[in-house]
Amino acid sequence: MNAPANFRQVKALPERLVVIGNGMAGCRAVEEILARDPARYTITIFGAEPRVNYNRIMLSPVLAGEKSFDEIVLNTAEWYAANGIELVAGDPVDHIDRERQTVVSRSGRVEPYDRLLIATGSDPFIIPVPGRDLPGVVTFRDLDDVDKMLAAAEGGGNAVVIGGGLLGLEAAHGLSLRGMKVTVIHLMPTLMERQLDEAAGWLLKTELERRGQTILTGADTQEIIEQDGHVAGVRLKDGREIPADIVVMAVGIRPSTMLAKTAGLECERGVVVDDHMVTSDPAVLAVGECVQHRGQCYGLVAPLWEMCRALADHLTDTPSGYQGSVTSTKLKVSGIDVFSAGDFTGGDGHEDIVMRDAARGVYKRLVVKDGRLVGAVLYGDTADGNWYFDLLKRQEDVSEIRDALIFGQAFALGGGAFADPNAAVAALPDDAEICGCNGVSKGTVVATIKAGACSLDAVRSTCKASASCGSCTGLVESLLVLTLGDEVQAGAKTLCKCTSFGHDDIRRLIVEKELRAMPQVMQELHWTTPDGCASCRPALNYYLLCAWPGEYEDDQKSRFVNERLHANIQKDGTYSVVPRMWGGLTNPTELRAIADVVEKYNAPMVKVTGGQRLDIFGIKKEDLPAVWADLNAAGMVSGHAYGKSLRTVKTCVGSEWCRFGTQDSTGLGVKIERMTWGSWMPHKFKIAVSGCPRNCAEATIKDFGVVCVDSGYELHVGGNGGIKVRATDLLCKVATEAEAMEHCAAFIQLYREQAHYLERTAPWIERVGLDYVKSQMFDDPEAVKRLAARFRYSQTFMQDDPWAKRAAGDRADLHQHLATVRPAPEYV
Amino acid sequence: MPKPVRAPMQAKWLDIGPITQIEPGMAATLPVEGGEEIAVFHTMRGEIYALVNKCPHKQGPLSQGIVHGESVTCPLHSWKISLRSGEALGEDKGCVPTIPVKVDAGRIYLLREAVVPPVQAARAAA
Ligand code: SRM
Ligand SMILES: Cc1cc2nc3c(=O)[nH]c(=O)nc-3n(C[C@H](O)[C@H](O)[C@H](O)COP(=O)(O)OP(=O)(O)OC[C@H]3O[C@@H](n4cnc5c(N)ncnc54)[C@H](O)[C@@H]3O)c2cc1C
Ligand code: SF4
Ligand code: FES
């Protein structure tokens, strides 16, 4: 007889399949094989955990008390028995002998195999900080971890969760439902940054805080504190200490590759497999989170199902192949709907479609490229998540429904008429409410437009629709287009293309609605981009800083380089440094310190500026903190020559020395500079004090100028010596120095609170009119006092020298290089 | 002093440290001895990009610009440069070389041959 063509078919015994890992992928693979050919293999499954296979993703509901363990079991003991599978539970495999084709378990059991399947999942990553091995420090991976957390929660107390990703937040949610006081420590500035953009991450943070959790973002763990041999708290790098009775580390997972690696199988991040889940050894396969397929490792279950299908097809001789997966994420925290899928990094040719509904707490962002959906982030309303995910996976052309896409499946596919948002508005009945804040119906808005209100502004001022929170702006605009066709007048100039609001509305709404953070402003005011642009970010940063002194934390990434580095960038990328010389006065100590810095750092030039002080040129960003330390040592602080802030107070000689001087202009100038330095403003601000009308300090081309006269002080405002010269307007005349200072503070505050970002006092006054400024300051006899008080209050937070902080090591990352690349010694 | 990163010739990718050194929305600089300084960007959404730190307009240090979306606005004259392609966006024309980047287990890697100056590499080969 000839040798059989297929050896297997005539083999007396079925082949032996050994599975390492009794988890979601291992068991699913076995189920898939059994479904295809139940008699093909004799199967043994080794599991490190002392139990049957359960639905790991449901550990979160178990922790939260929403499910019991029995409810999440996937394969019961009966299932293993009925299918002739031997389960070796609680006995992990320690060694694979590929030569002999056997595995050896911890208890010493040796099991031969024809085919071996590695399905060892992942290991939780433990950050290497002191105290990580203490009792009370747990991970979140299996039922034992949940039991430990539940035991800790029994006593109430404090829990710290390190890691604000999917797992960490689900752990935090469970522990807080179990009555613990939970603090989440997250390294990145926004939660779930791998799945959510800044806007959605911020909404999530706000909601969790509202539920009583403390969320610390940008927080780096230094060590875990011990007391009496148990965990007692967590210390952060910035020195803060958070008490903890239990610490959950949920900072990420690593594919569990140890076994495979020691067995000499090809491993990178995961066990490398081909499209049939075969490793570098044809007898060994791998599946689940432990594998790396086409360079990709997965941490979610959906890809596992696909992998298991391909694996089973291969093992039953009907190879199909796995192509890799696109994944989507949902957070399993009851009452919080979050969905994300695909790539939403944006970029060339990527268009963002953003919809925000502040009232309902909804944020949706779709990323479209070449007419196809490539990414989606949904917060607050995830009903259409699956539909978007489907469009994304199928790479369907969405150009036809693009305009209505963001409104969801029902709307976008609700017939051709509705694919156009204008048409949807047209279809609304006359009594449909358009503006919820002011109770204005569609009929009223249309009537107002027909009566001559042909711009957004006009509608707002006539019938008040969209004049409050502004969330119906889009609807009113649609009605304008529908009613007037092409004659619609462009509304007020918007801050930038990310918003339909102008500067004034934004400033007003920040205060009215108490908006205290940039993502909150963007959410409430319906920004059309996820994180703004180079125009609106600095403006919003300033508006928030001005509205909430002492509360709002300055956002360095929203600052122009000069303000971020507290020096002026030059054409060659070096910086110039201008220390303050109060009122233009100086002394030998200061001059010596400046001379020393010039020499020590080889500054190629030092020059007297037009602002009565000295400018040191050619300093590298790395050297700035050291230069500042030297200048600080001589008592000098930042001159803010780089800032949208007070620049200089120029003075002249005045009554102290000058034969014409009427008042102590030098002294007053110094006092004014001491009062006003450090303040952030809409644009730069310059002051001068001249001792007599000869005006040697050029006070009448300054933002605020004082001209001393015999009987007191003339106060001038709105001057500019720059691009378009404008002489000042006389604001008023006062009798005393104290009054001059008070008016100066009041005027600055009015400008700070009302001007548009990047509008100097001259164009501002041209726009609003001197009379307006006067009425704001003088109609109410208390106005000057109140404005000045607000300015002084804000100054209590501004007048610490930014240079001193940097010299002391604050934000060293902004000055240092990441590293220096040097060619390796072997090739120098 | 920042510690130097040696560029051993065998390694294809150059490890330049953890991603957490750069705050999202910011950039950091990486001088290269005998080569062009590199700007490494971390976008607000968490992506890492690297460009030669020279604006195609007048060599402004792009690392110091404002990062928004997937572009950076140059600090000198506000050209907008794509972090993906290195190309100037809008009406402006010009392009700056990009450096291939990969992020693995929280660390940033740059393609060695795009970082280390060819002269050195040639000398090494000789
Ligand atoms: C250093 C200095 C020139 C000098 O060597 O004297 C200077 C240098 C610059 N000026 Fe000035 N201005 C300087 C006094 C002035 C003056 C005179 C004065 O303050 O009495 C004026 C006219 C007065 C005025 O502002 O009304 C002046 C009107 C401008 C303008 C036009 C402003 C305008 O509103 O029209 C700009 C452009 C701008 O701000 O957008 C400008 C911008 C600049 C910038 C910041 C250009 C830039 O964006 O890089 C220069 C920075 C150089 C640097 O790196 O240090 N500089 N600049 C002076 C610094 C004064 C100080 O001690 O802080
Ligand atoms: C709390 C939690 C919530 C989750 N929520 C979601 C979710 O909402 N959506 C989602 O898609 N995914 C979620 N996941 C991820 C999902 O659970 C995993 O993707 C999935 O379980 C991976 O399957 P696996 O078989 O590769 O690994 P596992 O399910 O971890 O199985 C691996 C098994 O192998 C065992 N093992 C390891 N080494 C050995 C050895 N040497 N010998 C014997 N046995 C060994 C392990 O003990 C483990 O039981 C969640 C995970 C957790 C922990
Ligand atoms: S002109 Fe007037 S202000 Fe100027 S120095 Fe002389 S007296 Fe003083
Ligand atoms: S150098 Fe970058 S814009 Fe001019």
Q: Provide the CATH number for the domain around residue A344.
A: 3.30.390.30
Contacts of A813 in chain B (CB under 8 A): 21-23, 26, 28
Tell me the pTM.
0.77
User: Is residue A366 domain-shared with residue A467, that is, in the same domain?
Assistant: no
Answer left, alpha or beta for residue A375, where phi above 0 means left and psi between -120 and 50 means alpha: beta
Strands A137-139 and A246-249: parallel
Buried/exposed A178-214: b ≥16 CB within 10 Å, e otherwise: bebbbbbbbbbbbbbbebbbbbbbbbbbbbbeeeebe
Contact A819 B32 (CB under 8 A): no
What CATH number is given to the structural domain containing A92?
3.50.50.60
Closest CA to A532 of A373, A754, A354, A340: A354
Residue whose CA lies nearest to ligand 4 atom number 4: B77
With H, G, I as helix, E, B as strand and everything else as coil, classify residue B103: strand
Give B87's contacts in chain A (Cβ within 8 Å). Answer: 348
Which letter does DSSP use for residue A619 in this model?
E
Give the CA radius of gyration of chain B: 14
3-class DSSP state for residue A656? coil
Residue ending a domain, among A203, A222, A251, is A251
Same domain, A284 and A372: no
A715: domain CATH number is: 3.30.413.10
**CA dist., res. A710 & res. A8, Å (int):** 114
Instruction: Kindly list the residues from chain A whose CB atom is less than 8 angstroms away from the CB atom of residue B43.
Output: 345
CA A399 to the chain's CA centroid: 30
Distance, in Å, from the CA atom of A282 to the CA atom of A114, rounded to the nearest integer, reads 10
Find out whether A686 and A611 touch, Cβ atoms under 8 Å: yes
CA angle A570, A576, A581 (to 5 degrees): 145
Can you list the alpha helix ranges (DSSP code H) found in A211-267?
258-262
pLDDT for the residue A488: 63
Residue A671 falls inside a structural domain: yes
Q: Which H or E element spans position A105?
A: strand A102-105
**Ligand 3 near A708 CB (within 6 A):** no
Q: Is residue A329 assigned to a domain? A: no
The pLDDT of residue B6 is above 80: no
Select the residue of A197, A569, A814 nearest B75 (Cβ to Cβ).
Answer: A569
> What is the extent of the structural domain holding A565?
561-638
For ligand 4, is residue B57 a contact (CB within 6 Å)? yes
CA–CA distance, A136 with A134 (Å, rounded to integer): 6
Q: Given a cut of 90, is residue B90 above it in pLDDT? A: no
B contacts of A824 (beta carbons < 8 Å): 6-9
Q: Please give the structure tokens belonging to residue A162.
A: 């390190």
For residues A174 and A213, membership in a common domain is answered with yes
Give a yes or no: residue A235 inside a domain.
yes
Give the integer Cα–Cα distance in Å for A32 and A38. Answer: 9
- Residue A622 is assigned to a structural domain of this protein: yes
Q: Are A457 and A532 in a shared domain?
A: yes
For B87-124, b/e burial (b = at least 16 CB within 10 A) is bbeeebeeebebbebeeeeeebbbbbebbbeeebbeee
| In a shared domain, residues A270 and A214 | no
Beta strands, E only, A237-283 = 241-243, 246-249, 253-255, 271-273
> How high is the ipTM of this complex?
0.78
Structure tokens at A70: 């029995």
Q: Residue A513 and residue A378: Cα distance in Å, rounded?
A: 24
The SS3 of residue B26 is: strand
Same domain, A286 and A349: no
| Largest Cα–Cα separation, chain A | 130
In chain B, what are the domains?
13-125 (2.102.10.10)
The angle formed by the CA atoms of residues A597, A600 and A606, to the nearest 5 degrees, is 45
To probe the interface with A, which of B9, B19, B30, B44 has the most A CB atoms within 10 Å?
B44
Chain B residue whose CA is closest to A533: B68
Of A561, A571, A823, the CB nearest to B65: A561
Q: Alpha-carbon distance A279 to A277, whole Å?
A: 6
b vs e for B24-55, b when ≥16 Cβ sit within 10 Å of the residue's Cβ? bbbbbbbbbeebbbbbbbbbbbbbbbbbbbbb
In this structure, the answer to whether residues A543 and A439 fall within a common structural domain is yes
A809 is a domain residue: no
Residue A411 shares a structural domain with residue A303: no
**Average pLDDT, consecutive stretches of 10 residues, N- to C-terminus, chain A (828 residues):** 47 85 96 94 97 94 92 94 96 96 96 97 94 95 96 92 95 95 93 89 94 94 94 94 96 95 95 97 97 93 92 95 90 88 77 85 91 93 87 88 83 59 75 75 89 80 72 80 71 79 93 94 89 92 97 93 95 95 96 97 95 96 96 97 97 94 97 97 98 96 97 97 94 97 98 97 96 97 97 95 94 89 57
3-state secondary structure of A412: helix
**pLDDT recorded at residue A647:** 97
Q: Same domain for A769 and A720?
A: yes
Proportion of chain B in helix, strand, coil states, percent, rounded to 5 = 15, 40, 45
Q: How far is the CA of A668 from the centre of ligand 3 (A)?
A: 14
Any ligand 3 atom below 6 A from CB of A669? no
Instruction: Find chain A residues with C-beta within 8 A of B24's C-beta.
Output: 188-190, 193, 198, 557
The Cα of B103 is separated from the nearest Cα of chain A by a number of Å equal to: 12
Q: Would A514 be classed as within a structural domain?
A: yes
Question: Total structural domains in chain A?
Answer: 6
Q: What is the pLDDT of residue A2?
A: 46
A661 CA closest ligand 3 atom index:
7
Task: Kindly identify the ligand whose nearest atom is closest to the C-alpha of B56.
Answer: 4
Torsion of CA A714, A715, A720, A726, to 10 degrees: -60
- Say how far residue A276 (Cα) sits from the centre of its chain: 39
Q: What backbone torsions phi and psi does residue A770 show, to the nearest 5 degrees?
A: -60, -35
Residues A355 and A454 in one domain: no
Nearest-Cα residue of chain A relative to residue B71: A347
Closest Cβ opposite residue A818 in set B24, B29, B64: B29
Alpha carbon of A25 to ligand 2 centroid (Å): 8
- CB–CB contacts below 8 A, A to B: 175
Q: Looking at A556, A589, A604, which one is the last position of a domain?
A: A556
Identify the three-state secondary structure at position A810: coil
Residue B41 beta carbon below 6 angstroms from any ligand 4 atom: no
Note whether residue A818 is domain-resident.
no
Same domain, A278 and A347: no
Q: Are residues A683 and A772 in the same domain?
A: yes
Residue A1's pLDDT is 42
Q: Say how far apart CA A11 and CA B17 lie, in whole Å.
A: 55
Question: What is the number of other CB atoms lying within 10 angstroms of the CB of residue A599?
Answer: 9
Contact B68 A534 (CB under 8 A): yes
Q: Which of A621, A638, A655 is the last residue of a domain?
A: A638
Looking at residue B125, its pLDDT comes to 46
Q: Is residue A156 part of a domain?
A: yes
